[in-house]
Amino acid sequence: MINLSLKELSDSLKEKKFSSVELTQFFLDRLDLYNSSINAFISFDKDKSLAMARNADAMIQEGRQNYLTGIPIAQKDIFCAEGWKTSCGSRMLDNFIAPYDATVISKFNEVGAVNLGKTNMDEFAMGSSNETSFYGNVKNPWDIKAVPGGSSGGSAAAVAGMLAPAATATDTGGSIRQPASLCGLTGLKPTYGLVSRYGMIAFASSLDQAGPMCHTAEDCAAMLNVMTGHDPKDSTSVQREKENYLKGIHDPIKGLKIGIPKEFFSEGLEPEIEKIIEQGIDEYKKLGAEIVEISLPNNHLSIPVYYVIAPAEASSNLSRYDGVRYGYRTKEYDDLMDMYCKTREEGFGNEVKRRIMIGTYVLSAGYYDAYYLKAQKIRRLISEDFKKAFEKCDVILGPSAPSVAFPIGDKKEDPLKMYMQDVYTISTNLAGLPGLSMPAGLMNNLPVGMQLIGNYFSEAKLLNIANIFQTNTDWHNLSPKGFE
Ligand code: GLN
């Protein structure tokens, strides 16, 4: 069961080679065996998962099987799931049992997928290494001493360690693509608005987007088929016809124009990663693609702009955690103000506090124009760069992250170094574009990710282009030793 794609799992369930209960039990057993060493899950509930599996078996029996019916999926702990603890990696929500389902969760429930458990993550999705989680850091199955990336590091470690066949994740500045890159997986951040944010705990609302994290592009397509769709409960959810992302996944890519942004190959990128990406480009040339050079002249401003806009939105979103309605409340306090202060002091970790302070500052009356407004203007320039680039090419290719998985503790004390992890991913969030990372090689036995960035709503094309690469290469089939 361990090496089967979602399609193979689905077919096996259909042919009754095993039941969903058996499949779910298999992964729960692996969870028992390995979770303590990698800390990929914050919580799981075997009884609930097995009940869902029994329900799925009944659906299959009745001939109501969908692609993901009966398949266990690990859910990032940022998604509210009714009756499940939903912590977002924070002490603030350590006691929070979600009273309703996020739209993403209800969509998986509708097709009869099994919730395998809630995965570890950086606190409120702020981080690139999973070291800001209240529940301790996640370890990378490829190297237990290294980080899995973040903020969706638990989802990445769960799939890489084969504790789950697939997982959900979210990406505000790179949190799907960077951990996918560091853990040897395929991860897709969709166009902003394609997947509903309802019930997905908010970090920076104009950037947050949920997507799948799997071994292959084909698996991601199957997951995305479930996750997308207009949702009246999210005012930024787009109204467009639902696509079948599996439909064109094998289409030939001859004549495809791939743009290579020169800014993605400058200082800061490990030379060996550069070489691996160049080999990826060569592979695409062999497959009939045409390579064109493009420029994203404002990319160097994307990290500074993000670290104004994201904290600004976070400071506003996180004001709801005041100890009054739900979540953590300090034990002893003198008056209401004291209760607020102590609750937030004790409930939030350092990185979250840093962001709240920066965000509050850039939104304050005296500094709003100088920081927040300025950042919004540059955000527009960054989007314009992509618009111009897509006049010359169909898709943009580059590295996903500047490094491979780094040692736990390596960048924890230096936020600026940590923030650089997203130097190739953040601009797509600022522009609202889709981006995909897939494994393209190994450096020091650690996975290297290659990124594809597409125009708005080009997910089907991105998955097709990635799938063609994967049908001609083997990088996505490698797995970490000790987890086979
Ligand atoms: N690493 C970035 C941050 O810390 C992005 C996180 C994300 O995409 N959720 O904000």
Give per-residue pLDDT as tens, 406-424.
999 999 999 999 999 999 9
Over the range 280-297, which residues count as b (16 or more CB within 10 Å of their CB) and which as e? bbebbeebebeeeebebe
Name the residue of 122, 182, 412 to mutate for ligand 1: max ligand atoms within 8 A of Cβ: 122
Rounded to an integer, the average pLDDT of 293-315 is: 98
- The response to whether residue 174 sits with its C-beta less than 6 Å from ligand 1 reads yes
| 330 pLDDT above the threshold of 90 | yes
Ligand 1 atom closest to residue 422's alpha carbon, by position in its atom list: 1
Task: Give pLDDT, residue 267.
Answer: 79
- The response to whether residue 435 sits with its C-beta less than 6 Å from ligand 1 reads no
| 86 pLDDT above the threshold of 90 | yes
From the list 20, 76, 87, 152, the catalytic residue is 76
CA 251 to chain centroid, in Å, comes to 26
CA 390 to chain centroid, in Å, comes to 24
Where does the pLDDT of residue 484 fall: very low under 50, low under 70, confident under 90, or very high at 90 and above?
confident
From the list 87, 175, 181, 400, the catalytic residue is 175
Rounded to an integer, the average pLDDT of 66-83 is: 98
Q: In 10 A of CB 353, how many CB atoms?
A: 14
Name the residue of 79, 133, 175 to mutate for ligand 1: max ligand atoms within 8 A of Cβ: 175
CA pair distance 74, 217, nearest whole angstrom: 17
From the list 19, 49, 90, 151, the catalytic residue is 151
Give the contacts of 70 (CB within 8 A, at least 6 positions apart): 10, 13, 19, 20, 23, 24, 53, 56, 57, 59, 60, 112, 113, 114
Superfamily holding 1-484:
Amidase signature (AS) domain (3.90.1300.10)
Task: Give pLDDT, residue 266.
Answer: 84
**pLDDT, tens only, 167-199:** 999 999 999 999 999 999 999 999 999 999 999
DSSP, collapsed to helix, strand or coil, labels residue 85 as: strand
**pLDDT, tens only, 434-449:** 999 999 999 999 999 9
SS3 breakdown of the chain: % helix, strand, coil, rounded to 5? 45, 15, 40
Residue 150 and residue 129 in contact, taking contact as beta carbons nearer than 8 Å: yes
CA distances from 52 to 58, 117, 169, 220 (A): 10, 12, 21, 22
Q: In this structure, what are the phi and psi dihedrals at residue 404, rounded to the nearest 5 degrees?
A: -90, -175
CA pair distance 437, 240, nearest whole angstrom: 25
% of the chain surpassing 90 pLDDT: 99
CA pair distance 81, 89, nearest whole angstrom: 15
**pLDDT, tens only, 24-37:** 999 999 999 999 99
The residue nearest atom 10 of ligand 1, judged by CA position, is 126
Task: Give pLDDT, residue 107.
Answer: 98
Domain ranges of the chain: 1-484
**pLDDT, tens only, 198-254:** 999 999 999 999 999 999 999 999 999 999 999 999 999 999 999 999 999 999 999
**Cα–ligand 1 centroid distance for 252 (angstroms):** 34
Whether 76 is catalytic is yes
Three-class HEC string of 146-192: ECCCCCCHHHHHHHHCCCCCCEEEEECCCCCHHHHHHHCCEEEECCC
Residue 224 and residue 190 in contact, taking contact as beta carbons nearer than 8 Å: yes
**pLDDT, tens only, 144-166:** 999 999 999 999 999 999 999 99
CA distances from 443 to 265, 270, 413, 425 (A): 17, 10, 25, 20
- The per-residue pLDDT of the chain, averaged, comes to 97
| 268 pLDDT above the threshold of 90 | no
